[in-house]
Amino acid sequence: MIAATSVLGMTAVLGGCGLGGGSGEVTLRLVAADYGDSASNSSQKYWDKLVKAYEAKHTNVKVEVSVYSWNDVDRKVKELVAAGKAPDMAQIGAYADYAAAGKLYSTADLLSIPVEADFLEPLADAGEVKHNKYGLPFAASTRVLFYNKTLFTEAGITPPKDWSELAADAEALKAKGVKYPFALPLGSEEAQAETMQWLLGGGGGYTDDIGTYTLDSTENVSTFTWLRDNLVAKGLTGPVAPAELNRADAFAAFADGDVGMLNGHPTLIQQAAKKGVKFGTVAMPGRNGKAKTTMGVADWMTAFKQNGHREQIGDFLDYVYSEQNVLAFSREYDLLPVTNSASEAMQASTQDKDLRPFLEELPLSTLYPVGNTSWAAVSADIKKGIGRAVAANGNPAAVLGQLQAAATLAESGK
């Protein structure tokens, strides 16, 4: 999930049927995740404003939105579906299980052709299960390498273009007493993201072109062997073992000026700026130059069949994905737009110049294998175990082999 820091847990009573108060009136129910970090910027405010504008033009349709924290939203939707009270729409972190069970409308069932065609291609493709699109990308993010300009100047170094330069820069930062020359968060919070970024840079990834897991590939084992030997073993990743370092703590340390380099997403921009850290960003280095692809992340909008209302859901989602609404949401929460029209508008706008490095990476990014119904289980295993691969006595081949075996079993459904 892109944002998992919300402290809000707003609830509402959800019903199972769809007809509302007036004659012919339809009530649509949407469960959505909260991207805010306080009451002042809760996603509830975004949805309330959007719904008010929509209902003003559609007097026969009411939309009720219930916003939950990222800690609760996927579980809440699962409970509602299990109880036979599926919402009409759910904006959540995954969709494949519901699609495989035949519970979702496809994108083609819902959206007008111009809206469906406007999604960025890698995001649209990631929403597929068995060649049909069921997950509508709702918000996106990519990763770039952040570096502390002040620390780099003091160490007399420039941003790295490949792994050998990255290791050399980390050595120089360590020599200057930098606490975390390179922060490597492989803790349980978001290890699957950091792992994927490095795998892509090493020419590997989680799956092959047809979605089969390849966690223990030669390229992936080589990548984690390099991390163990060239960064961790040399004390270049800081005082906290990568297996114990979470992404939020690494970001906080960067904002405190204690980190030389780390992989970061757009929310780090404001976090660092608020603390007065002078930073720069570059494309994530790969083994022999710029990584051919970076990691992209998307959250998903889904539409459940249970209550019917396909036409009304489709019309509402056409409105949700209008350029002005996609831009408003992306700017409110420092995320990347999922449509070509909004992305082009953001690229051309001076107010969004800090996001341009991320926008440039998104069209060619590689996303998690979210179309695999096993991905949630595989991701959880990676979070729990991948940090062991770079420990002092770690065995990357053994750890990745164990993860591969579990992934193969999970994909088989046994």
Residue 8: per-residue pLDDT = 36
Residue 253's CB: how many other CB atoms inside 10 A?
19
For 127, the 3-state DSSP assignment is coil
Residue count (the chain): 414
Q: Cα separation of 371 and 302, whole Å?
A: 13
Residue 276 token pair: 């007065």
- The CA R_g of the chain, rounded to the nearest whole Å, is 22
Where would I find the beta strands (DSSP E) of 204-362?
Answer: 259-264, 279-282, 285-286, 289-290, 295-303
Measured CA to CA in angstroms, residue 172 lies from 229, 240, 258, 261, 364 at distances of 17, 19, 14, 12, 32
Residue type, 318: D
Integer distance in angstroms from the first to the last C-alpha of the chain?
26
Write phi, then psi, for 219 (nearest 5 degrees): -65, -40
19 token code pair = 């007809």
Report pLDDT for 228.
98
* Residue 267: predicted pLDDT: 86
Same fold, 26-140+297-360 and 144-293+374-412: yes
The two structure tokens encoding residue 111: 């959206």
Q: Given this model, what pLDDT does residue 6 score? A: 36
Within 58-95, residue ranges assigned H as helices are 73-82
Is residue 148 classed as helix, strand or coil in its secondary structure?
A: strand
Angle in degrees, CA 328, 40, 314, rounded to 5: 40
Which CATH architecture does the domain made up of 26-140+297-360 adopt?
Answer: 3-Layer(aba) Sandwich (3.40)
Question: Residue 24's pLDDT is what?
Answer: 67
Q: Would you give per-residue pLDDT tens digits along the chain (414 residues)? A: 554 433 333 333 333 333 333 446 899 999 999 988 778 888 999 999 999 999 999 999 999 999 998 878 989 999 999 999 999 999 998 899 999 999 999 999 999 999 999 999 889 988 888 888 999 999 999 999 999 999 999 999 999 999 999 999 999 999 999 999 999 999 988 899 999 999 999 999 999 988 899 999 999 999 999 999 999 999 999 999 999 999 999 999 999 999 999 999 988 998 999 999 999 999 999 999 988 888 988 999 999 999 999 999 999 999 999 999 999 999 998 899 999 999 999 999 999 998 998 998 888 889 999 888 899 889 989 999 999 999 988 999 999 999 999 999 998 875
Q: So what's the pLDDT on residue 13?
A: 34
Beta strands in 325-400 (DSSP E): 366-367
CA neighbor of 54 nearest in space, from 28, 34, 16, 19: 28
The answer to whether the beta carbons of residues 148 and 254 sit under 8 Å apart is yes
Does domain 144-293+374-412 match CATH 3.40.190.10? yes
- Four-residue CA torsion sign, 33, 127, 263, 400: positive
Spans of all domains in the chain = 26-140+297-360, 144-293+374-412
Tokens 């199972």 -> residue:
16
212 phi, psi to nearest 5 deg: -85, 135
**Tally of CA atoms within 13 A in the half-sphere of 26 that contains its CB:** 14
Burial of 194: CB neighbours in 10 Å, binned 0-12, 13-18, 19+ = buried
CB 320 within 8 A of CB 329: no
Ramachandran quadrant class, 159 (left: phi over 0; alpha: psi -120 to 50; beta: rest):
beta
Largest CA distance in the chain: 74
